[in-house]
Chain A
Amino acid sequence: MAELIEPQVFHKQTRSVWKPRTLLPGLPEMALLWLPALLVAAAMLLPIIYLLLRAGGADLPAWQWLLRTRTLEILGRTILLVIGVTSAAMVVAVPLAWLTVRTDLPLGRLWSILIPLPLVIPSYVGAYLFVSALGPRGLLQSWLEAWFGVTRLPDIHGLPGAVIVLTLISYPYIYLSVRAALLKMDPTLEEAARSLGHNLLKTFRRVTLPQLRPAITVGSLLVALYVLRDFGAVSILRYDTFSRVIYIQYRSSFDRASAAALSLILVAMTVVILVLEIRTRGRSLYHSASATASRPLARFSLGAWRWPALIFCAGVTGLALLVPAGLLLYWLVRGILAGEQISNLWLATRNSALASVLAAGFSLLAALPVAVLNVRRPGRLSHLLERVTYVGYALPGIVIALALVFFGANYALSLYQTLPLLIFAYVVLFLPQAVGALRASILQVQPSLEEAGRSLGHGPIRIFQKITLPLISPGVAAGAGLVFLTTMKELPATLILAPIGFKTLASGLWSAVSEAFFAKAAAPALLLILVSSLPMAILIIKDQNKASSQ
């Protein structure tokens, strides 16, 4: 019984019972898994190759400049921010996921749809809205001044503001992957723990949390790398990080060589984070040991705790979604009342949705071989392939976009600035999100189920269709949702690589904000949130129905 409560120990004992056997025999495995995975990894290395080419052009003073003490200081600040945001996002997202999936939280489905949506808010917009609403002389202050005579609120710029804003727009990375893991978790372990007299909290801490580890880790990895790549929020909140320095280098001095050299340091930081993350993975297995198919998940009754739980959910979504949306609505209404023309956004909406759906689909396809090999064929090469997909993930979007401009305009001119190349750019930008979500859910699938399918004489594709895919569907949904939401707001690659005249909601929003047309900015921003909530609602309701009907 002790093993049940310490699932890792339990799993280590069973590990020797089965060994990964040929998932697909010989040639098909090569053609269907290894070859695509190698191609995907090669594509993911394009930005790094570009950076090496460009950094080669940096002269000695540029490299010396990199080694000044200020660089180290910025490095320290960047690390501080990464740690701050990642831990805060974990603290926010894990309880949210557990509350929405595993308890009788009132309005559970509504929360499940609203909670991931802040991911769609571009960080510069989020930061701008946050400062406008809660800044020292923001909207809140103006109300407080009218009622209570408060003339200034505490300054939120700097580290605290950056941590708050980045946490509020990045916690969905952790939320979505943890949610997927919870939906497919074997409930028997928790039940056993409960029957041993553990209370809710202790069960969560000792049984649930350890099983969620892969999902939490991959979500946190995405958050950490997202923080490294962001420059929008940190610029507005006045916190200098590495990405911001790279950006200034591009923008102010048009110095691509120094920018590339700086970007390589960011890649090096990413590699360190990736190595640290793989250390935490250990060798534990996370699928249920019993052969019984998953049963309906028991939902814990919150009792009197439902009120604090409700306040927590409402507080997070309120701050991350309703405050920005409310402020946008206020600008929109004020603009319309002042007679401002709001242009027709139908085409931009269609383009955004089309590009994001395609990006999500192709990212999943590209991620699948990498994730399957990583879980089912543990070994040097498969681990390397998976890690390689993350290496460029911390690079600011403009760096990836310029890399693809270089390769596209010089080696694939007929594809340059077409929709296929744009989708390819999105896949390169967001693949790790799909790989992470898929990997975490494949880990939960028992290989013996797939083997049973094989013993019944089914081919590999049919097994995948009939057995694996239904079992990993929450992971597929999480991966698709993550890529969809981040593509909706993507800007630098869209501006540079889209077919000419291909307008999206994000580009319309940017164009209006950069010229301070707030009313014009509000309409595409609100549409961005609304349009994104639709597919999220479909994904989530489908999942939840499945989970409760099993």
Chain B
Amino acid sequence: MLCRTKIAAVLLVVTLLATACAPAATPTAGQPPESNQDALVEVGGTPADPGSLVIYSGRSESLVEPIIGQFADLTGIQVDVRYGSTAELAATILEEGSNSPADVFFAQDPGGLGAVADAGMLAELPEGLLNRVEARFRSPEGNWVGVSGRARVVVYNTDKLSPEDLPDELNGFGDPKWQGRIGWAPTNGSFQTMVTAMRQVWGEESTSEWLEGILANDPVVYENNTSIVAAVGAGEVDVGFVNHYYLYRFLQEEGEEFPARNYFLPGGGPGSLIMVAGVGRIASGPNEDNALKFIDFLLSPVAQQYFASQTFEYPVIEGIQTQRLLTPLSELDAIDIPLGSLADLQGTVELLQEVGALP
């Protein structure tokens, strides 16, 4: 019996490795995942109980459920997911403390992961996992790793503007000609991370001046990226500061005539930041092995290809085909700044409050 269990376990690892090494652009090449599962059962007789896994996901169900489901099918692990907003789930994990039922925290942004890591609740990840991803996309302490990238962009209304009308750098939007034409979301986590990057690259003084410059142009305040993209499409404002992938949802839902497009600031400043959604393992989580298997799976070509083609995000590993409308990451002149160094959200919130961008 013990022997069988071992065989099954070995087979499981082999299966995982096989999927992990599958050619990038052909995730469905070869056998579908179900038949892998069948093979496992056939050879091993009774398969080992693959156990369970509890994920707290700050990423929305509509985006990540398919890929989590694929992981569950592939491994036979009983996967339970609690969906919520990243900040609220982070606060929940902090309140739960060592009694947290969660094994994995899948967060929308490094801020939420940082808050949990600061409380010492994230375990250090094995180097083999961390090294699969560029250093700027993971925690310097090694307790979380980026899973998919998103670029900060300026979304603009194509009826009113063309790319030539847009400045190379964020500074350009302080010009009075942008009076009343800018949409922004100062409460948004990604926006705040961008401001944190500005503080680091430009210094407090210049960042504060920039914010005041934008405020002088009477920007229209939105609740989130989605409403900014909607407003730009409707012509309520001409430009907005957002993450790149929201536009593609609108193009999918409203058709390609939707009059808005993304503009990646070419100046290489803090406006050209690439951020990530990431994942960490809760140190007290009872299913360590399965948690690591899941993180491993998220960094596999199959999952990376899913993010690139289905959620319009950037893959964080090499050799993945990006979506047709998406400029590949390698062609973007992005600022090279480690995301782990952008943890001081409190300082950013205070600055935003000081200049009056936040209540």
Contacts and interface: CB of A to CB of B under 8 A. Distances in A.
Contacts of B235: 137
Nearest to A514: B60
Contact of B349 (A236, A248, A410): A248
Given A250-B91, A517-B253, A410 B62 contact: no
B337 interface: no
B253 A511 contact: no
Given A248-B358, A496-B88, A515 B349 contact: no
A507 interface: yes
B92 A496 contact: yes
B198 to A, nearest CB: 16
Interface stretch (A252-260, A284-292, A299-307, A474-482): A252-260
Contacts of B187: 235, 248, 251-252
A236 B223 CA distance: 6
B242 to A, nearest CB: 11
B234 interface: yes
B95 interface: yes
Contacts of A333: none
A515 B63 contact: yes
B94 A256 contact: yes
Interface string B63-104: 100000000000000001111110111111011110111000
A70 interface: yes
A92 B187 CA distance: 33
B341 interface: no
B133 interface: no
A512 interface: yes
Given A496-B92, A511-B83, A248 B189 contact: no
B249 to A, nearest CB: 5
Nearest to A399: B91
Nearest to A131: B227
B346 interface: yes
Interface stretch (A238-246, A308-316, A365-373, A430-438): A238-246
Interface string B340-359: 00000110110001000011
Given A137-B236, A511-B61, A254 B101 contact: no
B112 interface: yes
Interface stretch (A186-194, A208-216, A401-409): A401-409
Given A244-B359, A409-B96, A515-B62, A253 B84 contact: no
A520 B249 CA distance: 12
Given A235-B223, A492-B88, A245 B359 contact: yes
A417 interface: yes
A118 B245 CA distance: 33
A492 B85 CA distance: 9
Given A500-B80, A512-B62, A252 B192 contact: yes
A221 B255 CA distance: 47
A162 B230 CA distance: 20
Given A250-B91, A492-B88, A516 B229 contact: yes
A251 B85 contact: yes
Interface in B244-258: 246, 249-250, 253, 255
Interface string A486-530: 000000100110001100000100011011111110000000000
Interface in A57-111: 70, 74
Contacts of B345: 252-254
Contact of A70 (B62, B83, B88, B353): B353
Given A70-B353, A248-B358, A507-B83, A520 B88 contact: no
A413 interface: yes
Contacts of A248: 187, 349, 358-359
A409 B82 contact: no
A136 interface: yes
A240 to B, nearest CB: 4
A270 B81 CA distance: 36
B88 A137 contact: no
Nearest to B108: A514
Nearest to B82: A500
A74 B356 CA distance: 12
Nearest to B111: A254
Contacts of A517: 62, 249, 253
Nearest to B346: A253
Nearest to A494: B84
Contact of B95 (A238, A255, A402, A520): A402
Given A413-B99, A495-B82, A516-B230, A250 B60 contact: no
A398 interface: yes
B87 A70 contact: no
Contacts of A410: 96-97, 99
A517 B252 CA distance: 10
B15 interface: no
Interface in B94-133: 94-97, 99-101, 111-112, 115
Nearest to A398: B88
Contacts of B9: none
A128 to B, nearest CB: 8
A251 B189 contact: yes
Contacts of B246: 516
A296 interface: no
A17 interface: no
A338 interface: yes
B326 interface: no
B253 A338 contact: yes
A340 B348 CA distance: 40
18 contacts: A136-B236, A248-B359, A251-B87, A251-B88, A252-B87, A252-B192, A254-B345, A255-B346, A398-B91, A409-B96, A410-B97, A416-B99, A501-B81, A507-B83, A511-B62, A514-B60, A515-B60, A515-B226
Given A254-B90, A402-B91, 17 more contacts: A235-B223, A248-B358, A251-B85, A251-B88, A252-B349, A253-B345, A254-B87, A340-B253, A409-B95, A409-B97, A410-B97, A413-B99, A417-B101, A496-B89, A500-B80, A512-B62, A516-B229
Give the 6 A-B CB pairs with smallest separation, nearest first: A254-B115, A240-B359, A516-B226, A409-B96, A251-B87, A495-B84
Interface of B: 54, 60-63, 80-85, 87-92, 94-97, 99-101, 111-112, 115, 187, 189, 192, 221, 223-224, 226-227, 229-231, 234-236, 246, 249-250, 253, 255, 345-346, 348-349, 353, 358-359
Interface of A: 70, 74, 128, 135-138, 235-236, 238, 240, 244-245, 248, 250-256, 335, 338, 340, 398, 401-402, 405-406, 409-410, 413, 416-417, 492, 495-496, 500-501, 507, 511-512, 514-520
